[in-house]
Structure 1
Amino acid sequence: MQNYTTNHQLEHRTMRFFKDKPVDDDLRNNLFTIMNRTATSSGMQTFSVIRITHQAKKDQIAEVCKQAYVAEAPELLIFVVDTFRMKQIAEEKGYEGESYRTMDVFFQGVADAYLAAQNITNAIESYDLGAVYLGSILNDPQEIIDILELPELTFPIVGMLFGYPDDNPQLKPRMDLKFKVGKNSYPYVANITTELKDYDEEMSYYYDTREKNRRSDTYTDQLVRKLSTPNPLRQKLLQVVEKQGFDLMVDE
């Protein structure tokens, strides 16, 4: 049984191209208000969102992402792990420790930021707008930090574009739930590439028949190709996290 909300969620698709139509201020503010009600770890709200309106900064971020359409979208958001605010409050209240630097708190911020991004996406799509996540900001997180002038104890974790869609892409197939959902233990599947044969065929048909960027491909081939060509800058993510003042605690 579906309802209005779940129908929108089941129809989720990535929108990369948008009409040259601004998002109304009242609507955007309402979306942010909805996002602000997102569940947050221990109520600490260890995330912030940067809305990019300067075209020069949009252009710079598009260069990091290697995606020209990033600079053209009506709305560009960067979700940021943020324990700097926590540090400010703690110091003003007389706290002398540094627990806001721990990996525990950092991962709380990661969870808070991702949950907020998903929650605002649900709201965006409920208004018949579209959105796309930008994991590509992690191509060079230090450059994003510099562009946004982020203070210590922050880290840009994911970006997002949204607006009025100028595209109608097909629904991208998903693998069967038996590969993802376990009961009381990990959903281990033996001979997984064989078990994924039907999904590979479904993905092959999808890539071959979609309107844009048609190609001959499968899920398992794409996975191996991606693992075989890692981005060298992304190999330094932890170094950037540490440079931002977080304690990796790798020697303890």
Structure 2
Amino acid sequence: MIHNFTTDHQVNHRSIRQFKDQSLTAEQLTTLYEAARHTSSSMFLQQFSILHLTDPKKRAAVREISKQSYVGANGDLFIFIADLYRNQQIRHQLGNDDGRLHTTDIFMQAAEDAILALQNALTAIESMGLGGVVLGSIKNDPEKLIQVLDLPKMTFPILGLQVGIADQEPQLKPRLPLDQITFDNNYPRNFNISELKNYDQTVTTYYDLRDANKRIDSFTNQINGPKLNQHESSRDKLLQALHDQGLALN
């Protein structure tokens, strides 16, 4: 592969979950925002917003929802929101109706805007020598999260992002081999689990050797285990929470 400052940072990405007790500077914060603001946007609808949570009570509430002790602890905490409220208000104030804003198509475009903006922000953060972690766990209880953040209808929290000065040096987590995720023209249907034997061993070794939360486990065992087994989860409320917000109704 081609090596340069950007690509080397990207392929060496590590999720940082421990941060020093120091917030971003105004310049760093503006850089994060500008990187997010200039992200590609579907149909130029620009349907995302960012909440920067500095209120200790709100940070604690998000931590309780996420069930992760590091969430909202040190560093800066951001929530990336699919935001159709702003465009709804533009249409209303110009004398129009909601049009297609309640469709799954338009919601998906908003979700994509938010996700892409977060990734751009994280890349910018890492380029400044800082660390970050993407937080899908904020949606463990989507209805409660919407209440905590006091979000209006036509908005939905997609992902959290916690960033700051890293206070740990985790090992690089091994990813699936390229031949398992990249294909030319056609998606192959002849997958055999034996193709992942070497990767399973690599993952097992990674968990055996890493410093924190030590466990010995393979990738295929994780896929075949509790993560995807049938069980009730508060995340099952996601679709109802979306509908309650007036989103993806069709």
User: Using the alignment, how far apart are the partners of 1:230 and 1:161 within structure 2?
Assistant: 29
Distance 1:187 1:116, change over 3 A: farther
User: Using the alignment, how far apart are the partners of 2:42 and 2:188 within structure 1?
Assistant: 27
Which residue is 2:186 aligned to? 185
Structure 1 window deviating more from structure 2 (29-38 vs 161-170): it is 29-38
**For 1:28, what is the secondary structure of its paired residue?**
helix
Which residue is 1:221 aligned to? 221
Deviation digits for residues 51-110 of structure 1 (CA, Å, limit 9, x no counterpart) = 100001111100000011113122000111110101000111121243111111100011
Contact 2:88–2:98, Cα closer than 8 Å, also in 1: no
Which ranges of structure 1 fall in alignment gaps of 5 or more residues?
none
The amino acid of 1:34's aligned partner reads A
RMSD (Å) for aligned C-alpha atoms:
1.2
User: Using the alignment, how far apart are the partners of 2:157 and 2:245 within structure 1?
Assistant: 11
User: Using the alignment, how far apart are the partners of 1:201 and 1:4 within structure 2?
Assistant: 30
User: Using the alignment, how far apart are the partners of 2:135 and 2:242 within structure 1?
Assistant: 18
Please identify runs of 4+ aligned residues in structure 1 that moved more than 6 A.
Answer: none
The amino acid of 1:37's aligned partner reads H
User: Using the alignment, how far apart are the partners of 2:230 and 2:165 within structure 1?
Assistant: 34
Contact 1:179–1:187, Cα closer than 8 Å, also in 2: no
User: Using the alignment, how far apart are the partners of 1:86 and 1:181 within structure 2?
Assistant: 37
Deviation digits for residues 100-123 of structure 1 (CA, Å, limit 9, x no counterpart) = 111111000110000001000100
User: Using the alignment, how far apart are the partners of 1:142 and 1:61 within structure 2?
Assistant: 12
**For 1:196, what is the secondary structure of its paired residue?**
helix
Q: 1:187 Cα deviation (Å)?
A: 3.7
Q: 1:247 Cα deviation (Å)?
A: 3.9
Distance 1:70 1:93, change over 3 A: same
Identity of aligned residues (%): 41
TM-score by length of 1: 0.95
Which residue is 1:102 aligned to? 103
Distance 1:168 1:145, change over 3 A: same
User: Using the alignment, how far apart are the partners of 1:41 and 1:208 within structure 2?
Assistant: 42
Structure 1 window deviating more from structure 2 (180-189 vs 104-113): it is 180-189
Contact 1:179–1:188, Cα closer than 8 Å, also in 2: no
**For 2:112, what is the secondary structure of its paired residue?**
helix
Number of residue pairs aligned between Structure 1 and Structure 2: 248
**For 2:238, what is the secondary structure of its paired residue?**
helix
| Superposition pairs of residues 144-183 of structure 1, within 5 angstroms | 144-183=145-184
Contact 2:19–2:168, Cα closer than 8 Å, also in 1: yes
Distance 1:229 1:66, change over 3 A: farther
TM-score by length of 2: 0.96
Which residue is 1:195 aligned to? 195
The amino acid of 2:140's aligned partner reads N
Which residue is 2:113 aligned to? 112
The amino acid of 2:200's aligned partner reads D
**For 1:99, what is the secondary structure of its paired residue?**
coil
User: Using the alignment, how far apart are the partners of 2:151 and 2:95 within structure 1?
Assistant: 24
| Superposition pairs of residues 224-235 of structure 1, within 5 angstroms | 224-225=224-225, 226-228=227-229, 230=231, 232-235=233-236
User: Using the alignment, how far apart are the partners of 2:36 and 2:65 within structure 1?
Assistant: 26
| Superposition pairs of residues 1-252 of structure 1, within 5 angstroms | 1-191=2-192, 193-225=193-225, 226-228=227-229, 230=231, 232-249=233-250
